[in-house]
Amino acid sequence: RTLRRRLGPQGWTVTEQGPRRPALTRDGAGLFQMRPDIVLDRAGYRIVLDTKWKRLLPFVSDPKRGVAQADVYQLLAYAQAYGAEAVVLLYPSAGIGMGRDRLRIGTDGQPFWLAEVPLED
């Protein structure tokens, strides 16, 4: 609801839990249906977000920030299946601001964001 309220006036469409897309197909039939938590669309630009209910670690204690390898693979699959220009792993934060960490898929691919949002808002 917050994303819809804040991004709707800017022309973004916010879709929760979908749309479904197959991870694989065989003879035109979809297998392993995917359903991302949130998909943002605006004028042909798509961002796929997956929410997590664990906290990111500080960069200084872990360069991977505690992100699970399976979560990265999941977002890579979303990027491919949904033709996303960017993907975001969204984590809760106890702080008052939003922390972000911009990575890239491969060496020069789409943006892969780690982001934190405060639970108070």
Dump pLDDT digits (tens) for 39-84. Answer: 999 999 999 999 998 888 877 788 888 899 999 999 999 999 999 9
pLDDT higher than threshold 90 for residue 121: no
Q: What is the mean pLDDT of the chain?
A: 87
Q: For residue 116, what pLDDT is reported?
A: 85
- Spatial CA neighbour of 114 closest among 77, 85, 86: 86
Predicted confidence band of residue 98 (pLDDT cuts 50, 70, 90): low
Dump pLDDT digits (tens) for 7-46. Answer: 999 999 999 987 888 888 899 898 899 999 999 999 999 9
Element (DSSP H or E) covering residue 39: strand 38-42
Distance CA 93, CA 115 (A): 9
Q: Which residues of 85-115 are buried (b: 16+ CB within 10 A; e: fewer)?
A: ebbbbbbebeeeeebeeeeebeeeebebbbb
Place of tokens 């033709």: 83
CB 65 within 8 A of CB 114: yes
Q: For residue 48, what pLDDT is reported?
A: 96
pTM above 0.75, yes or no: yes
> Distance of alpha carbon 121 from its chain centroid, rounded?
19
Q: What is the mean pLDDT of residues 75-104?
A: 84
